[in-house]
Amino acid sequence: MKLTLSQNSWPIRGSFTISRGSKTHVDTVVVQIDKDGLSGRGECVPYSRYGESIESVSAEIESVATLIEAGISRPALQELLPAAAARNAIDCALWDLECKQSDCTVWEKVGVNPGSLETAFTLSLDSPENMEAAAKQNAFRPLLKVKLGGGEDLDRLRAVRRGAPMAKIIVDANEAWTPELYKMMIPELLMLDIAMIEQPFPAGKDDVLADLPRPIPICADESCHDRKSLDRIIGRYDMINIKIDKTGGLTEALLLKKEAENRGLKIMIGCMLSSSLSMAPAFVLGQGVDIVDLDGPLLLENDIENGFDFRDNQMLPFERQLWG
C-alpha cells in the first residue's frame, strides 16, 4: 500500500459563525491509500475544540504511515489511534479501498439499501435581524438547524420562527447555556415549537441534565464521541449526534449507532463543515435515523468532484465515483 496526504481549503459561502468565532474557509486533510492500481480516499476535519489542527492531524497520520503501508486492517486501526479526526480519514480511506478491491458497494458491505435523505440546513449565529432574514430566505426548507451562543438566543429563535413559520426547527446551543438559562428558555421554546436542543451545557458539566426536565429532546454532541461515552449519556440525553470525525471513522460509528439504538437513544447524524467526501460515509450512517444534518457541501462555495446532488430538499444517494 502507498499512503498519500493532501490538504484542502474550502471557501465558505459568506461567513459561517458559531459561538467560537467566524470562518471564511474550512481546512481538511485527505488520506489516499493506493494498492494494485486502486485508490481509497477519506477526508477529515481537524477541530480546534478538541485540540486538533491541520498540522497535528497530519503528523498523527504520518506517525503510523509505515503500518498503513504494511496493510493495517480496520479493526487493528481502532486500537492504534484514538477516536478522532486522524483515524477517521484513514478508516474511511480503507473502507473505500476495500469496496474497490472486492468490487462491491459500501451498501452491500453494510447490508443497507440506500435512500434519499432530508437534511437540516444550518443558520449561522448572527443578530436576530440577520437570522430572521436568513430564515426567510430558507423558509422553503423543511428542517432548519439554528446555531446559538447564549445571550440573545431567545430573540434569535423568535426571529427565526417569524422568518420560517412552517419549518421544523432544531437548535444547537454549542455548550453555551447555564442551568438557569435552560430553565428560562424551555417554556419559551415549547411555545416556539422547537423540536430538539443540541448540547446545551459544556461537555463534562452536563450532569445537571439528569435532574432537569426534558420536555424537548436533548441531544449530545460534544459529550458523545464513541461507545465509551454512552454510560454517561444514558439518563441525561435523549439523543446523540454521531459524527465520523468524533468516532474516528465509519467503523466505530456503525457500532456506536447500533449500541445507542439498543439502549433507547434516538440518533442524529451530523458533520463537520466539509466536502461531499466527508458526507458519503456519514450518509451511510444516516439511513433510518431520526435527524440528518449533512448540509456541509451546501455551505461551501464549491464542492469536490462527483459530490452530492441536493434536489427538492432531498440529499440523493452518492455515486461510486465519490466514495465506496
- Residues present in the chain in total: 324
Does the annotation mark 266 as catalytic? no
Q: Which of 145, 147, 246, 257 is catalytic?
A: 147
Contact 184, 161 (CB under 8 A): no
Name the H helices within 17-152: 54-63, 65-69, 74-80, 85-102, 106-110, 128-137
**Is residue 145 among the annotated active site residues?**
no
| Catalytic-role residue among 145, 183, 228, 243 | 243
**Do 323 and 96 contact (CB within 8 A), yes or no?**
yes
CB atoms within 10 A of CB 36: 8
| 231-254 per-residue burial string, b: 16 or more CB within 10 A, e: under 16 | ebbeebbbbbbbbbbbbbbbbbbb
3-state secondary structure of 266: strand
Residue 117 has which C-alpha cell? Answer: 435523505
Query: Does 36 appear as a known binding residue?
Result: no
221 belongs to an annotated ligand binding site: yes
Is residue 261 a known part of a binding site?
no
Residues tagged active-site: 147, 243
Residues in the annotated binding site for Mg(2+): 172, 198, 221
Residues in the annotated binding site: 172, 198, 221
